[in-house]
Each structure stands twice: as structure tokens, then as C-alpha cells.
Structure 1
């Protein structure tokens, strides 16, 4: 193949007249091959002892948030039971097979692929039976052996009417339930994790307010529907039965035992909800409407979160009103005679009822009441928000939705998100003692200039989004704001839990080094 020419150190390659191969070329080629072999062996050794960035990105642990949508009945239409969770010990074969079904998406396509563990809060949610949550809603018909709706479209709507005002339990549960669905476009503040050990908080999906409204009250209408022999205790017993079952479940669960409930979140927004057991479970973080009917050790602003009512009047969209087109100066429509702190309503009624440009009347029931309140608030400059049986009422949030500047007369009121929002920029606060001075309220409000009122009205247009409950949620709406308020409680809760672990009988270092004792 190779031909050596006499008297020369060159070799010629047949068919290439002008191409000659010198001995030096051969030596250099051989040396290059040796270098490549050595470099290849070195590279192979490094790969076997380290994991490239691309490989780490697709490791089993990082895929679990995505794989979970395939294994949880709450997020897919298949028949996999909810209790069959994705495990951290999944073998490589399972991961590879699952990858074929997971659409991770293009990083540049701008479409979110669901929340992940980088969300602000990692939350574990108990898989309580449907009777504790969506099962209370008649539109929901769970399949036998299933707990949650099969997909987001099957989440039933919350009951209408006044029930809606105490519905944060529903919106938070629905948001958390869908927190890691693919293509989720809602904000990722709270993310549902598989194991309670990995969670910042443990969420209890009990619709306590709906339970009270559905089972905790007996009305004449219920007696008619059930027949004259129906016992008054039937509905009350159902509400208390659920509370007792919940306590039994929680106190046996290792997640509760690990922190004595201090990292648990429960929504008890209706002031009468969870009455039978809320003192027993008071270590939990409660989401409430106010603190009017609680002992200080049971609920307080230090450990708990105030959530807004869901307004029942429609949001005033495309509001082009002005100071001069809103002809009524002061508006109030509702119950005038109330107990305890609500006594101020009757006294103010006597002071304001005969004033011109003031609408102060008792409430109107049924749909006509909603229509008249909507018209009245939208045509008024100021809306009175007075203490009732409790310091708060839904009227404040109807005022905000109607862009009627709230006038708050409730000395003990705690407001939602006040550590994040300056209510004084869009509300007027009046001390109850001053409010009862003849002429004080009406003179103060009549002296507010057009420019001052317009500034507060414009701020209402900006902040109203913070009080909107919706599914799916959007950035900085009421759902998102409640999660953020819960997140702000986390450092203090962790501090309390860690302090209590100082003198544990079996501290973590002893368990890890010496084994169980």
C-alpha cells in the first residue's frame, strides 16, 4: 500500500502525485492519537465521579414536582388513587418512562409549567374525606374511593348568596389543590408538597364556615323540608360530629404531633365556625374574619391571619363616576339594632337619619336588597362601616368593590393585610367616642374636598384587586395575599417550635448518633 522511494525519507501515496508523507508526519499523527486516548480516559473518569449541570437538572428529585401530576388523582383523569403518591425512591426506569409523558415545555415559550418547590411556601395538605370539604357542595359528586375532583374543571362552584362572604376556605383549598398543574398561570406563592416533613405549613382542608352554615343552624325552612317530626339537634350534631372527627384525625397524625399543631393552618372565617373544638386546636394558625368572638389565647393577631370577606356586591367595573355625580354624601343600609359593640349603629342612626344627603336605613332582604345596596353604594361618596355583633362585616369590602370611600367606626377592628396596606390612604377612621358627638361625622365628611375625595377614590381603584377571591387566582388578589400573610408568620412560628425542642427527651442529634432509645 505504501511505496518507499530509494534515497529519500518520503513515502508516496498511490493516486496522489503531489502528496507526500514525511516520517515526521507519521510520528506526529501517532502522538496525537495517544493524546486523544489519554484525554478520553480522563474525561470518562470525571464523568463517573461528577454529574453535569444538564444531568442534575433532570435528576429524580427535581422531576418529582412534575411527575406528581401523573400519579395524583386530584390532577388527572386516570384512575390512580389519591393515596398513591410519587416516591423519592422511584427507580430510574420509572423516571424514564414518566418522562415520555411529561411535557416540560420550552424554557422560552413563556408558558408556566406549574408551581415548583421554589414557591414562597411549601404546604402539605391532608387528604381528608370529601365530607370535610367539597362534599358539602351539592354540585360535587365524588367517585367511589376518590377524595378530590378529577381535574380543575370539576371543582364545584361555591354556594351563592350570603354564604360566599365566609368562603376563603374554598379559595385557598382550590388554589393549593391545583398548585402544581402543568401550564398553571396563577401565581406560585403556595406549592403543595408530597410529604409533611418537607412542608413549611400543613393545611387542613375543612370548610368550617360552610359546615356551620349548612349543619350548625336550624331554620323554619329546614323544619318544613324535613317534616314536622325532625329534631332540632340534627343539623347541629352534623357540624359538631365533623369537628370531633377532625380533632381525632389531627391528634393522631405525626404531622400534628411533630409541632403540636403550631405549623397547621385552619380557616375558621365565620365567627361561629369550629366553636366546639377551636380552643382545643388553638396552637394552629387560624384564618379569621376578626377576633370578636375568641378568647385571646385562642386567636390573636400575633399568631393568626385576618382574611377579607368575599364581597357579595358586584365589582364596579368601568367606574367613571366623580365627586359631583355621587350625590349621596353618606350611605348605610343594614341591620340597625345589634348586640354588644353594634349598639353604636342605633345611636348613629338617631344622629344622622334626618340629615340631608344621608341614606341611613335598615336592610332589605333577598335580591332587592343586593340591587338597592349596589345602586346606593355606587352613587355615594362615603359608606359607613360600623361595628356589629363583631368588629367587622362584609360591608367594608362591598364598599371597596363599589369605590365608595369607607368610613370605619369600629375601635377593635383588625384589618386584613394591614402590615402590607395603608388603609388610611383610602379609608377614613373615626373613633367611636367622637362619632357619637352630635354633628361630628356629618360635618367631617361634608368638609372633605373634591380633590381629597378623588385621591381616595383613585386609590380604591388600585387596591380593590387585593380583595378579589377567584379561581384560578391572579397575582396579588385576595387568595395570593392571604398566602403571603401566612408566609409572614413563618419565622415566628419556626422560632417557637425550635425553642420548644431545646429540652426534648430525644433530641435530633441523639436519634441520629445513638439511634432510637
Structure 2
């Protein structure tokens, strides 16, 4: 030791210390550079995959901040990159009003036109504070025509600072900045619950509200400016707005079909067809197969109908004795919804036959059941058919062909297992387009309807611009 050399053990400890220091320094440098690039948001690095998506960091942060369930820690594996990426796919993006496709001005109609019909009693506000709870909509068959309720909720929530998920439509305060003017009248509910005349009244509440609505709209600046062409009115029940529809014909109606409208009042060029809200339960985790569904063809509902619905009774006599076919009368009473749910979930094909009007809720019950719809309704119009090819998951049969002895059953039996499975898979892919829910989710019924409305906006603008050609010269006329 007298020669001043460092013992071997001391040298080893120093080298190990320097190595550790170097490793830590490199790690800190790389980590700092990595987050610098992330915060800079370099398009080049992101585009070529050198950095993970920003959403991944938000999900990782969520894992850090969410309280852990200690009772499960020893039974569940820690989240992997794959599970985090799956979470990213499900994580709704924030609503960005400036990037929305549709700007909507909504009239502050008195609550008697909307949530007041649900029993909500406003105090100092026209609208309920839906951040603290949403007034319930009545169940049963009322729900199938509840489109107005879901769209209004979506607009009310569109400006929430903490809103997550899609917002194809956002509410604006300045009507001159809006693409459309939304009229929040729960007309289907008004018809369903208030169309009968009380003994002490001359007209029903439903009729009175329609009259008040027409009077209200005609004095509004927005209606006078456009003649109502950019106004959106919901009348999903075929009998809703029955007294006012002829007076409001320039507007855009959102309907279930055109069965009770003359073509000059409602037509596919200016109006929107919206889906019914299905009343049977969804078929979650559907792992059924062609062979595991024992019923070939299913129908349960009202058989004796008027107008175009006469075909139901004709088909009943043609099909009632066919093997593997269920064709019977049914209603929602006495457990009817549960019976229909079980029946549709057990069937390969479900009949959707015209009733009093061309459409019915049965089509959307079939979609929710992944039961391939067989549509027999020559005048039917379908929701968002300009972007959705129904022939990929539905069978269409002309009424004249369906009434031929043996035609329908032969057609259905000719469809192979492979063809059915392809349609069944497609039903599972598109069923979310027909789901009404709050909060709304990506491309569900609410968002699909807003997109359908937005596709009509250029046509509305064309009509308004053409009508303005001679406005100045008309003003100058003596």
C-alpha cells in the first residue's frame, strides 16, 4: 500500500459508481428530450410513429390518478400497453365546439312545450339543470318515438366544459351564426299523453300547444328571415303535429316515415327519417350461430291492421302452418316485451311488415336482436340510407311477391348459412347507429341524425340564397 495505488476493491467501487452515474444521466437526458418532443408536438415525429399518441399519456395519467382497488391488486395483472391502447380506443375525445359540423340555435320555448310535459316544473329557468340529473321519459311504447328528447338533451349538454365524446351539433346563442334553428317541442309525447279532450276543455292540450307553437314561430325574426326553411321540427309519431304540419311545411321535419304526409308537406329531399327507439333488450355478447337459433322466421304483433297493413293478415294465413315459423298476435302487455325479446333472439329472420304506416318499431327491435330483418313494405323510407346500405343486413321483398303462395318461405329457406352469418356480423357492426342514449356516444342514433341534418344544410342555403336574389329590388318598389 506504500506505493500509493488504489486497492482493487476501491477501484471497482469507483467504476461502478461512475457507471451508475452515467446511466442515470443518460436516462434523464433521454426522458427529458422525449417529453420535450411530446410537448412540442412535432408532426414529423408523431406522423412516423416515434412518439405515442397524446391520448396514451392521458390514459396513463388516469391510471396514476385513479384510486386503486386494493382488494383486487393481487388478483389482476397490471395494465399492459395493449390494454392501455384498448382503453384509448374507448376513451371519448373532448367536445370541441369550434370543430363541430353543425351549429344550432335552439328557441327557449317555455317548458310546457318540452320538459314540462314530463312533469318537470321549472322555477327561474326554461331548462332543467341536466348536469345534476335528467328528467325521466315515460317507458313502454312512448319510448319508441322519443327522438325529440334525446336530441334536446344533446344540445343542452353540447356546451358543458367537461363534456366528453362526440358533438356533431353544438348550441349557439346567435341565430345568424347558426346552420339550423331547432324547435324543442316534444310533439310525440304531446300526442301520446295529451291528445284527448278533457271534459271541461274545448280542445286538447296537444292541439292547444300546436296552435301556440305556430303563433310563436310566425312572429320570430328567425322564421321571418327564412320562411321556416332552416327550422327543424320533430314529429316522429305519425300522428304528432297533425294540426300544425300543414302550416309549417317549409321546415325540415324529423319523422319516422312519410305515410301520413302529402309529398308537398314532407318528402325525402328536405326531411329526415329517424329510427325508432327499440323497445326490446339488446342482445349483448351475442355468440349465437345459424344453427343455435331454432326459429327460421319470426313475427309477433298486431295482425289485423288498416291501410297498407292488410298484408299482415294475408301473410298470416300463408305462413301460420309453416315449419319453424312463428307468426302470432302479440302486444307489450302481459310480458309481451320479454316474449318478443326471447323470440327475436332465437330467430334467424324477423319479419318487418307494413302496418298502418310504412314503418314500425319492429325493424329496430330486429336490428338490436341481430335477427336479419325481412322487410315487406313498398313505401318504407329508412334512416340514413344515403350512407348506409341496408341490403348488406336486410332482405327486401316486394308486397306483390310476398303474397304469392310459397314465394316468401322459399326465398328465406334459400339463404345459406354463410350468407346469413355475413348479414348477422354486419348487424352487430351497425347496431350502435340505432341506439339513443344520454350522454350520446360516437355515431349512435343522436349523432347520426345530426349528421343527416348537416347533409341537408347546403340545400337549405341554396334555397335561401335563391330566395334572396330580388330582395333589394322588392324593397325599392313603391
* TM-score bucket (shorter structure): 0.7 to 0.9
The reply to whether residue 231 of structure 1 matches residue 199 of structure 2 is yes
Matched, 1:177 2:145: no
The alpha carbon displacement at 1:158 in A equals 1.3
> Is the CA contact (8 Å cut-off) linking 1:308 and 1:478 kept in structure 2?
yes
Distance 2:217 2:96 in 1: 27
Identify the match of residue 210 of structure 1 among 182, 189, 192: 189
| Alignment match of 1:410 (pick from 358, 377, 380) | 377
* TM-fit CA distance, 1:111: 8.1
With over 3 angstroms needed to count, the CA separation of the structure-2 counterparts of 1:248 and 1:360, relative to structure 1, is same
**1:237, distance to aligned residue in structure 2 (A):** 1.8
2:127 alignment partner in structure 1: 148
Distance 1:449 1:112 in 2: 41
The answer on whether the counterparts of 1:112 and 1:184 sit within 8 Å (CA) in structure 2 is no
Q: From the superposition, tell whether residues 172 and 275 of structure 1 become closer, same or farther in structure 2 (CA, over 3 Å).
A: same
Equivalent residue for 2:430, pick from 447, 460, 463: 463
Distance 1:456 1:217, change over 3 A: farther
Q: How does 1:50-65 map to 2 (within 5 A)?
A: none
1:367 and 1:436 mapped to 2: Cα distance?
31
Q: Are 2:90 and 1:122 aligned?
A: no
CA contact (8 A) 1:113 1:181 kept: no
TM-score, normalization by structure 2: 0.79
Are residues 115 and 149 of structure 1, via their aligned partners in 2, closer, same or farther at CA, if it must alter by over 3 Å?
A: farther
Q: Residue deviations 1:375-409, cap 9 Å, x none?
A: 00000000000000000000000000011000000
Shift of 1:450: 0.7
The answer to whether residue 160 in structure 2 is matched with residue 160 in structure 1 is: no
Distance, in Å, in 1 between the alignment partners of 2:407 and 2:344 is: 22
Partner of 1:401: 368
1:275 corresponding residue in structure 2: 242
Find the residue that maps to 2:315 and give its secondary structure. helix
1:292-371 paired onto structure 2 within 5 Å: 292-371=259-338
How far, CA to CA, are the matches of 2:384 and 2:326 in structure 1? Answer: 30
Cα RMSD over matched residues?
1.7
Question: What are the Cα deviations for residues 51-71 of structure 1, in whole angstroms up to 9, with x where unaligned?
Answer: xxxxxxxxxxxxxxxxxxxxx
Q: Per the alignment, do residues 208 and 381 of structure 1 end up closer, same or farther by CA in structure 2, a change over 3 Å counting?
A: same
Give TM-score, length-normalised by structure 1: 0.73
Match in the other structure for 2:353: 386
Match of 2:65 in 1: none
Asked if the contact 2:289–2:421 (Cα under 8 Å) also holds between the matched residues in 1, the reply is: yes
Between the aligned partners of 2:130 and 2:374, the Cα distance in structure 1 is 43
Q: Distance in 1 between matches of 2:343 and 2:104?
A: 42
Q: CA deviation at 1:233?
A: 5.7
| SS at 2:98 equivalent | coil
Structure 1: tracts of 5 or more residues without a match: 1-109, 219-229, 511-516
User: Residues 319 and 233 (structure 1 numbering): CA distance in 2 closer, same or farther, change over 3 Å?
Assistant: farther
Tell me: CA distance 1:363–1:263, structure 2 relative to 1, closer, same or farther (3 Å). Answer: same
Offset at residue 186 of structure 1 (A) = 2.5
Match of 1:441 among 408, 412, 429: 408
The alignment of Structure 1 onto Structure 2 pairs a total of residues equal to 387
* Residues 320 and 233 (structure 1), Cα distance of their counterparts in 2 relative to 1, 3 Å cut: farther
Q: Deviations over 1:350-389 (max 9, x none)?
A: 1000111000001144151001100000000000000000
| Distance of 2:207 and 2:138 partners within structure 1 | 21
Runs of at least 5 residues in structure 2 that lack an aligned partner in the other structure: 1-90
Change (3 A) 1:471 1:337: same
Distance in 2 (CA, whole Å) between partners of 1:258 and 1:286 is 18
Q: Compare 367-376 and 425-434 and name the one that shifted more.
A: 367-376
Secondary structure (helix, strand or coil) at the match of 1:366 reads: coil
CA–CA separation in structure 1 for the residues paired with 2:312 and 2:93: 49
Question: Which of residues 483, 502, 506 is equivalent to 2:450?
Answer: 483
Partners of 1:358 and 1:478 in 2: CA distance: 31
Give per-residue Cα distances to partners, 1:97-149, cap 9 Å, x unaligned: xxxxxxxxxxxxx98554313210010000001100011112x2322x31101
1:26-175 residue pairs with structure 2 within 5 A? 114-138=95-119, 140-143=120-123, 145-175=124-154
Task: Tell me the equivalent position of 2:391.
Answer: 424
Check whether the contact 1:115–1:179 (CA below 8 A) recurs between aligned residues: no
Q: Take 1:275 and 1:493, find their aligned partners in 2: how far apart are those partners?
A: 24
Matched position secondary structure for 2:335? helix
Separation (CA, whole Å) in 2 of partners of 1:365 and 1:199: 41
Q: What SS does the aligned partner of 2:135 have?
A: coil
Aligned partner of 2:84 in structure 1 is none
- Per-residue CA deviation, residues 306-348 of structure 1 (Å, 9 max, x unaligned), is 0000000111100111100101100000010000100000100
Q: What whole-Å deviation, never above 9, does each CA across 1:413-467 have from its counterpart, x for those lacking one? A: 0000000100000000001001000001111111111111000000000000000
| Cα gap change, 1:507 to 1:474, in 2 (>3 Å) | farther
Contact 2:92 2:165 in 1 (8 A): no
**3-state SS in 1 of match to 2:204:** helix
DSSP 3-state at the match of 1:488: helix
